Amino acid sequence: MSRWVYTNRAVHQDAVPEPSTDAAGFHAALEAYEPTPLHDLPWLAAETRIAVAGLKDESGRLGLPAFKVLGASWAAERTLRERPDVRELVAASAGNHGRAVAHEAARRGLGARIFLPAVSSRPRRAAIEAEGAEVIVVDGSFEDALEQAHAAAEQPGVAEIGDVGTLGPARWVIDGYQTLFAETLAQGSFDLMLVPAGVGSLAAAATRFAAQVDMRVIGVEPSTAPCLTASFEAGCPTAVANTGTTMAGLDCAEISETAWPTLRDGMHGTITVDDDEVHDAMRDLATVGLPIGDCGAAPVAALRALATEQACAELRADVGLDDSTRALLIATEGPTDPESYRAIIG
């Protein structure tokens, strides 16, 4: 593959908004809440010649196999405080966000419609339907699904819970994700974070947290959908022609306008990884008893590249990667498509 790496020479962490603490108490009061584990990976630390490699494991979060429910639940809470007339939630999704919105709608006794791109897998569609939502498969991309979700939200009593765009829910989704990072303060001390980027909402939450604790942060993207890297190169949000990846949650053509200013000012760089590298990381994690999905394993592949490849030399020097580095890897999901996971693991 052709590795695309970007080093942000214009980091201004003092310009990054402070992370919101509003969602933490809300999440802590939920019956199913408990902090997700942080695993030590000494074999990965030894391989990459750093001091510590810690994996924040989001394969089980509030009854779902991915972190997305943190943002969806808080955005739904904030939306319903302002609009108690809402009877149905809608969202566009590649899978995990839609399932989280459907789960939250069911918990609150609301209806849900989830718009998925044509490439979405059958198991992911089935998982959303099992939450009680109506699934609408759009003949097009995630961005096409997003347009239809926007249109549906124009109907009376309907609210869109999106993790991209400029609407209130997109901001509240970022705030909801802060719970994940607040937990790590009690779980370990780190100076570098690698986080899957996608549309940028989780990465924005990570960047706000990192600025608060003086941590460096790197975004990880598929080599076939590097919308954040392209935006850094262009100096503004820039769409890319994504050609597909098994990292379904990162298969995004555009970065969220809400997330972009935070990423521009506070993220230290980006690394792209390909499916084969991620599948190798998934198999290695499975060997040590950690069933992690494609998006969640991407930071492992990225750390390997950062530590060893000449293409990453500038970024490696910029973040000061050496034998004293304590790296935090955000594993965003478990096997959200069990059929695909079994095929990859073998």
Domains and CATH numbers, the chain: 5-66+174-345 (3.40.50.1100), 69-169 (3.40.50.1100)
pLDDT band at 65 (very low <50, low <70, confident <90, very high): very high
pLDDT of 271? 98
pLDDT of 101? 97
Sheet harboring 88-92: ordered strands across?
Answer: 134-138, 111-117, 88-92, 158-160
pLDDT of 220? 98
Output the pTM of the full model.
0.95
For residue 187, give every residue at least 6 positions away whose Cβ sits within 8 Å of its Cβ, in sequence order, or none. 35, 38, 54, 56
Under 8 Å between Cβ of 244 and 216:
no
Residue 2 has pLDDT above 90, yes or no: no
pLDDT of 166? 72
Residue 321 has pLDDT above 80, yes or no: yes
Tell me the per-residue pLDDT of 280-301, one tens digit each, with 9 for 90 and over.
999 999 999 999 999 999 999 9
Residue 105 has pLDDT above 70, yes or no: yes
Residue 1 has pLDDT above 70, yes or no: no
The Cα–Cα gap between 238 and 221 comes to: 14
For residue 312, give every residue at least 6 positions away whose Cβ sits within 8 Å of its Cβ, in sequence order, or none. 3, 5, 271, 305, 306
Average pLDDT of span 99-116: 97
Lowest-confidence range among 64-78, 141-155, 185-199, 256-270? Answer: 141-155
Average pLDDT of span 174-202: 96
Residue 68 has pLDDT above 80, yes or no: yes
Average pLDDT of span 29-58: 97
Across the chain, mean pLDDT equals: 95
pLDDT of 346? 87
Residue 93 has pLDDT above 80, yes or no: yes
Tell me the per-residue pLDDT of 193-243, one tens digit each, with 9 for 90 and over.
999 999 999 999 999 999 999 999 999 999 999 999 999 999 999 999 988
Grouping H, G, I as helix, E, B as strand and the rest as coil, residue 150 is helix
Under 8 Å between Cβ of 90 and 160:
yes
Under 8 Å between Cβ of 329 and 37:
no
Under 8 Å between Cβ of 334 and 291:
yes
pLDDT of 55? 98
